[in-house]
Amino acid sequence: MPAAVVMVAVLAIFALGYRYYSAYLAKRVYALDPSYTTPAHTFRDGIDFVPTNKHIVFSHHFISIAGAAPIVGPAVAVFWGWGPALLWVVAGTVFAAGVHDFGALVVSVRHKAKSIGTLAGEVISARSRVLFLLILFFLLTMVNAVFAVVIGILLDGNPAAVLPVLVTIPLAIGLGQLVYRRRTAALLPSIVCLVIVYAFIPLGVAVPISLDGVAGALGMSAQTLWVLLIFVYAFFASRLPVWLLLQPRDYVNQLQMVLALAVIFLGVVVGWDAIVAPVVNDVPAGSPPWFPLLFVTIACGAVSGFHSLVSSGTTSKQLDKETDARYVGYLASSGEGALALCSILACTAGVVATAGEWNNLYTDFATASDGAVGNFVNGVAGFAGNLGVPLTVGSVFAAIVVISFAATSMDTGVRLQRYIIQEIAEITGFRPLARNLTAATAVAVLIPLALALVPGNFAFGTLWQLFGTTNQLTAGLALSVIAVWVTKNRRNPVAVLVPLVFLVVMTTWALIVNLSGFIASGEPMQMFLLAPLDVAIFVLAVWLIIEAAIALRKAFAQRGAVQESSSAEETAGTDESQ
**Mean of per-residue pLDDT scores for the chain:** 90
Instruction: Band the pLDDT of 192: cuts 50, 70, 90.
Output: very high
Is the per-residue pLDDT at 475 higher than 70?
yes
Is the per-residue pLDDT at 187 higher than 70?
yes
pLDDT at 558: 84
pLDDT at 185: 80
pLDDT at 341: 97
Contacts of range 421-426, beta carbons closer than 8 Å, 24 or more positions apart: 421/137, 423/115, 423/117, 423/118, 423/133, 424/130, 424/133, 424/134, 424/137
Q: Which of 217-221, 431-435, 504-508 has the lowest mean pLDDT?
A: 431-435
Cα separation, 365 vs 370, whole angstroms: 9
Residue 263 located in a structural domain: yes
- Average the pLDDT over 405-425 and give the result: 86
Q: What is the pLDDT of residues 73-105, one digit of tens each?
A: 999 999 999 999 999 999 999 999 999 999 999
Residue 165 located in a structural domain: yes
pLDDT at 336: 94
Residue 395 located in a structural domain: yes
Residue 357 located in a structural domain: yes
pLDDT at 395: 93
Cα separation, 137 vs 470, whole angstroms: 10
pLDDT at 183: 79
pLDDT at 540: 86
Residue 446 located in a structural domain: yes
The better pLDDT of the pair 408, 265 is held by 265
Is the per-residue pLDDT at 459 higher than 90?
no
Cα separation, 192 vs 194, whole angstroms: 5
- Tell me whether the omega of the peptide bond preceding residue 164 falls within 30 degrees of 0, making it cis: no
Cα separation, 539 vs 489, whole angstroms: 30
The better pLDDT of the pair 547, 463 is held by 547
Residue 59 located in a structural domain: no
pLDDT at 131: 85
Q: Which of 11-20, 179-188, 209-218 has the lowest mean pLDDT?
A: 179-188
Range of the domain at 494: 3-50+67-572
State percent of the chain over pLDDT 90: 61
Is the per-residue pLDDT at 335 higher than 60?
yes
Instruction: Band the pLDDT of 321: cuts 50, 70, 90.
Output: very high
pLDDT at 573: 59
Is the per-residue pLDDT at 64 higher than 80?
no
Question: 52 pairs with which residues across the strands?
Answer: 319
Instruction: Band the pLDDT of 466: cuts 50, 70, 90.
Output: confident
Q: Which of 238-252, 306-320, 333-347, 426-440 has the lowest mean pLDDT?
A: 238-252
Instruction: Band the pLDDT of 431: cuts 50, 70, 90.
Output: confident
Cα separation, 84 vs 563, whole angstroms: 43
Q: How many domains are there within the chain?
A: 1
pLDDT at 464: 77
Residue 118 located in a structural domain: yes
Angle at 412 between CA 184 and CA 376, to 5 degrees: 100
Of 116, 93, 94, the C-alpha closest to 106 is 116
- Average the pLDDT over 298-312 and give the result: 91
pLDDT at 501: 94
Write down how long the chain is: 578
Is the per-residue pLDDT at 250 higher than 80?
no
Instruction: Band the pLDDT of 313: cuts 50, 70, 90.
Output: confident
Cα separation, 293 vs 511, whole angstroms: 9
Instruction: Band the pLDDT of 198: cuts 50, 70, 90.
Output: very high
Is the per-residue pLDDT at 519 higher than 60?
yes
Cα separation, 83 vs 60, whole angstroms: 31
Instruction: Band the pLDDT of 574: cuts 50, 70, 90.
Output: low
Residue 60 located in a structural domain: no
The better pLDDT of the pair 327, 434 is held by 327
Q: How distant is the alpha carbon of residue 310 from its chain centre?
A: 8
Residues 6+ apart with CB under 8 A from 62: 250, 254, 257, 332, 335, 336
